[in-house]
Chain A
Amino acid sequence: MIELSPSDWVAIRLTLKLGLYTTGILLAIGTPLAWWLASGRSPLRTAVQSIVALPLVLPPTVLGFYLLLLLGPRGWIGGSLEAIGLTHLAFTFTGILIASVIYSMPFAVQPLFQAFTALGRRHVEVAASLGAGPIDRFFTVILPLTRGGFIIAATLSFAHTLGEFGAILMIGGSIPGRTKVLSVLIYDHAEAMNYTAAHQLSLLLLAFAFLVLFIVYAVNRRFDTVRP
């Protein structure tokens, strides 16, 4: 029933790659950031929390536009890269990866922040008194007790990256195999009046999105009831 063309497969592979990379980077950045937000005492926390949440309210095009300015050949970052003999990042996979990471940041940080806030500091302090250093504490206390938060953060980051459109189009354009992800391809198909192809991919994304949300809520419920 569903027949995918080779270019569809290219886009699917690219989209999954983007999703996996984004999720990995977000967990690596988001975990210390959320921990700092949940337990730090810096007066900067509110400002940082607001910046992280910005993509929730900004149109993705605004984010993409500024990234284009920043990462493009004349931009502060893109220009510097050119100056040292590298290429700028507009219309590249790295460019859309940076956009995805920023764009999906709140979806990783928020669940982790909530999980760390709910965990509190008691167990971590006890583990420290029992001789566990910071990394030991993370793997033997924090991670097992906030598993639910990590699962939610990972699935939401991944799923949200798949749903990204505006920011990618602005910074990445529509280059097959490099920046043309599923959402962009669907747009292209629809523009070309190729509704059957657009429909197949849309249905695929719809089913996937439902599955992800279902997992998130199931995990939420399970951890709500298991944890006293």
Chain B
Amino acid sequence: MNLEITARLQHGAFTLDVNNTFPLQGVTALFGRSGCGKTTLLRIIAGLEHPRGARVCYGDQTWQGGGDFVPLAKRRIGLVFQEHSLLPHRNVRGNLEYGYKRTPPNLRRLHLPEVCELLGISPLLDRRIDQLSGGERQRVALGRALLCSPQLLLLDEPLAALDTQTKREIMPFLVRLSREAHVPILLVTHVPDEVERLADRVAFMHDGRVQRIEELHDALTRPDSPLFDEEGPVSVLEGTLSAPDAEGLCRFESGNVALHVLDPGGTRDSRLQRLRIRGRDVILALKDPEAISVVNRLPVTVEAVHSGASGESLVISRLSNGQALLALITTSSLRRLGLTEGSPCIALIKSLALHQPGRGEEGR
């Protein structure tokens, strides 16, 4: 399903100028700094802003354009804001049912029991809104949006108002939702971590324009990726996570590659998981140093080398399963090892550096 938008909007000194087609299978992240126009674009998609001359088409439905305008109430979009969007005069059940009751029965695909199960909100059903924690509120807001069986889910920085602990608590639910609800999701965020954990595709926004839309894996193998601005280069591996062994290590398997990580705790999900590996946590060696505490020692082949001006070099390599692994090392070490395109070497990654959940969310 594609979403086509053409819109120009002037708000004082800020201009939004968008003319893009978004493929919307799975999760598409709309990524950019605060004030770059992400939320405005989201509001245009929702029909909450309707600049003159704009055109918004979702699949074969024209939501805006050529004199037609479909109001939000008829677009069947699920909308989740940063915070405080639950109706305070209704309890949790009343909020969840608000949209469900207004969805024509023949269009209802999701129902209360399965949504409560998915988001773990069954025990909250009879609570008042002011008796919920921030994380519980966001889960209820997500559930309420899902219960409209929307054809598109718009999430406007749904984690931004939550503390680190609560973000960790909610992230697994978002991951599950993105995989199991079978609704295309457009996620507005300025946090690379959220993109890397959730998105299949990312649209980079800057200064009111969408600069490019690319698959996450492509965005993560580009040395100048805006996702690397804060934390440096990151690789994302997809694989399955096993139960912890007697020493508390879990096996993360991705094709013929296996890593060991500490038990992330929480609800374990045998389905596909993502493992984030920061480039600065990866060590490269020419020979496998067996007498070393590092558990994860993986053979890789160097694919590209990018030396920056700051004395750091980004080494993009391929694991034996074909997934990319990025290592950030000093240019001095790069020279010393003589690494070039095609060089085989061993990547060393401490299990502790991979500790899930939510490394890199600290201090935000």
Contacts and interface: CB of A to CB of B under 8 A. Distances in A.
Interface of A: 122-123, 125-134, 136, 140-141, 144-145, 227-228
B127 to A, nearest CB: 15
Interface residues of B, number: 25
Contact of B78 (A129, A136, A144, A145): A129
Of all A-B residue pairs in the complex, the 9 with the closest CB atoms, nearest first, are: A130-B99, A131-B102, A129-B79, A128-B72, A128-B73, A144-B89, A126-B85, A133-B73, A130-B98
Nearest to A227: B88
A125 B73 contact: no
Interface string B68-104: 0001111111110100110111000000001100110
Contact of B79 (A125, A141, A145): A125
B348 interface: no
Interface in B132-158: 144-145, 148
A105 B78 CA distance: 39
Contacts of B81: 122, 126
A228 to B, nearest CB: 6
Given A129-B46, A130-B98, A131-B99, A122 B73 contact: no
Interface of B: 46, 48, 71-79, 81, 84-85, 87-89, 98-99, 102-103, 130, 144-145, 148
A1 B98 CA distance: 56
Interface of A is mostly: helix
B88 A130 contact: no
A96 to B, nearest CB: 38
A123 B85 contact: yes
Contacts of A134: 73
A134 B46 CA distance: 16
Given A129-B75, A129-B145, 4 more contacts: A125-B46, A129-B77, A133-B73, A136-B102
Given A122-B81, A132-B73, A228-B130, A127 B148 contact: no
Nearest to A125: B48
11 contacts: A122-B84, A123-B85, A123-B87, A125-B72, A126-B85, A127-B87, A129-B78, A131-B74, A133-B71, A133-B73, A136-B102
Contact of A122 (B72, B85, B144, B148): B85
Nearest to B107: A131
A130 B141 CA distance: 11
A72 B145 CA distance: 57
B44 to A, nearest CB: 13
Contacts of A133: 71, 73
B199 to A, nearest CB: 22
A123 B81 CA distance: 10
Contacts of B98: 127, 130, 132, 140
A132 B74 CA distance: 9
A144 B78 CA distance: 23
B58 to A, nearest CB: 14
A203 to B, nearest CB: 40
A213 B99 CA distance: 39
Contacts of B73: 128-129, 131-134
